[in-house]
């Protein structure tokens, strides 16, 4: 199989879908790998690194899309990229289709087979290709939130850890999954007073047993959530419904109940955001003010630490990429139901229920797609 990796073109996206190590593994499996020139520069990988791994260097993305059997990326394909996809081609990347009807329609129209990193599962009920970036985004959230909290950036002017005689920032993390756990650990490590909210009592017990006094836990009822939000200097939205649009946890009307200059960090923005007033921003222009409340809603947070993120993502995606290349998508998905869970679009049909529900589009069962 010819595996192609174009340079990411989403604004301020510095990651790359295939590392030199992954390229070398694919070549060792008998496949060809084509990388667009300069694709790895943002993550610290040169064209020479890829050439040394046995990959071919292509001059343009168009060359890759025209010839590759499988396209491996990081972010969802942008409109110009979607026009280059073709029937029978495999697309393996993050898609986040639920809040994005335009992309969904374009992918269906392309006839390509589109497998989303974020809905591939594992035997423990986890999301192994989302987890590495969730870990990165979770650890970044308090860091970027602390920057936004500075007065010069529109925040309350509160130091995360306080100083002797002055209390620390009050941080509320909504969601106790991978993102929330890592966010809470870092915020607590910065000296903040942290509370994690979740609706799963077993998860709250796990967090309490594992992390003890590092941070507090609380049940995420609506009343409890807004009560804690009123006292917060920073609120980190870390909720996830796999493949579906994120629920809105704080409404615009409720912003009036928050402290002026409080910060909302919406890590769920790729899935539409978990605050009603969230809208996607970029690393170049990351924050905005709504009614005196600062919002940080960068849609590709891990791109800020592109090298760490690229290597972490490459470690996770490589086995699945090799399975798809070695067996073809159909046999690979038939052999691995967890990879089949990643199938979102095939041959003009949507194949992921949560996306169909969010967008009002009929869904073909993935099992039936295998036989189509």
- Has 153 been labeled as part of a binding site? no
Instruction: Give the burial class of 256: count Cβ atoms within 10 A of its Cβ; 0-12 exposed, 13-18 middle, 19 or more buried.
Output: exposed
124 burial level (CB within 10 Å; 0-12, 13-18, 19+): exposed
Q: Is 15 annotated as a binding residue?
A: yes
Judge whether 268 is annotated as a binding position.
Answer: yes
343 is in an annotated binding site: no
Q: Where are the beta strands (DSSP E) in the chain?
A: 2-5, 32-36, 56-58, 70-72, 90-93, 113-116, 170-174, 193-198, 216-219, 234-237, 263-266, 287-290, 293-296, 343-346, 349-350
285 is catalytic: no
279 annotated as a binding-site residue: yes
* Ligand-binding site membership of 259 (annotated): no
Burial of 261 (0-12, 13-18, 19+ CB in 10 A): buried
- Among residues 100, 106, 193, 270, the one annotated as catalytic is 270
270 assigned ligand-binding residue = yes
75 is in an annotated binding site: yes
Active-site annotation holder among 96, 182, 295, 346? 96
> 240 among the known binding-site residues?
yes
Which phi and psi angles does 237 have, rounded to 5°? -90, 115
Clarify whether 270 is annotated catalytic. Answer: yes
Cα–Cα distance for residue pair 114/88, rounded to 1 Å: 10
Is 198 annotated among the ligand-binding residues? yes
- Known catalytic residues are 96, 270
Q: Could you list the residues known to form a binding site for NAD(+), using ranges.
A: 134, 198, 203, 239-240, 267-270, 279, 298-301
Residues belonging to the binding site are 15, 75, 134, 198, 203, 239-240, 267-270, 279, 298-301
Which residue positions form the known binding site for substrate? 15, 75
């Amino acid at each position: 199989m010819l595996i192609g990796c174009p340079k990411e073109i989403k604004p301020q996206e510095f990651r790359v879908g295939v590392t030199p190590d992954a390229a070398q593994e694919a070549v060792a499996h008998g496949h060809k790998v084509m990388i667009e020139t300069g694709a790895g520069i943002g993550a610290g990988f040169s064209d020479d690194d890829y050439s040394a791994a046995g990959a071919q260097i292509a001059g343009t993305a168009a060359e890759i899309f025209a010839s590759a059997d499988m396209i491996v990326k990081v972010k969802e394909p942008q409109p110009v990229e979607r026009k280059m996809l073709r029937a029978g081609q495999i697309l393996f990347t993050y898609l986040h289709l639920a809040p994005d009807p335009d992309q969904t329609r374009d992918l269906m129209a392309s006839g390509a087979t589109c497998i989303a990193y974020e809905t591939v599962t594992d035997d423990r009920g986890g999301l192994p290709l989302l987890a590495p970036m969730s870990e990165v985004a979770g650890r970044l959230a308090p860091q970027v939130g602390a920057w936004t909290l500075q007065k010069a950036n529109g925040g309350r002017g509160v130091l995360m850890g306080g100083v002797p005689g002055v209390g620390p920032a009050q941080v509320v993390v909504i969601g106790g999954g991978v993102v929330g756990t890592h966010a809470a650990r870092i915020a607590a490590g910065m000296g903040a007073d942290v509370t994690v909210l979740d609706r799963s009592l077993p998860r709250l017990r796990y967090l309490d047993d594992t992390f003890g006094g590092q941070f507090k836990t609380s049940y995420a009822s609506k009343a409890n959530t807004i009560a804690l939000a009123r006292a917060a200097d920073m609120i980190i939205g870390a909720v996830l419904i796999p493949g579906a649009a994120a629920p809105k946890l704080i409404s615009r009307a409720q912003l009036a109940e928050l402290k002026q200059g409080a910060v909302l960090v919406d890590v769920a923005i790729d899935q539409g955001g978990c605050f009603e007033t969230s809208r996607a921003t970029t690393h170049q222009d990351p924050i905005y003010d709504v009614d005196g409340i600062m919002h940080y809603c960068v849609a590709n947070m891990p791109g800020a630490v592109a090298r760490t993120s690229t290597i972490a993502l490459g470690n996770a995606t490589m086995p699945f990429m090799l399975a798809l290349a070695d067996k073809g998508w159909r046999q690979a998905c038939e052999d691995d139901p967890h990879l089949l869970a990643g199938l979102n679009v095939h041959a003009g049909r949507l194949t992921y229920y949560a996306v169909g529900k969010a967008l009002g589009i009929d869904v073909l069962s993935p099992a039936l797609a295998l036989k189509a």
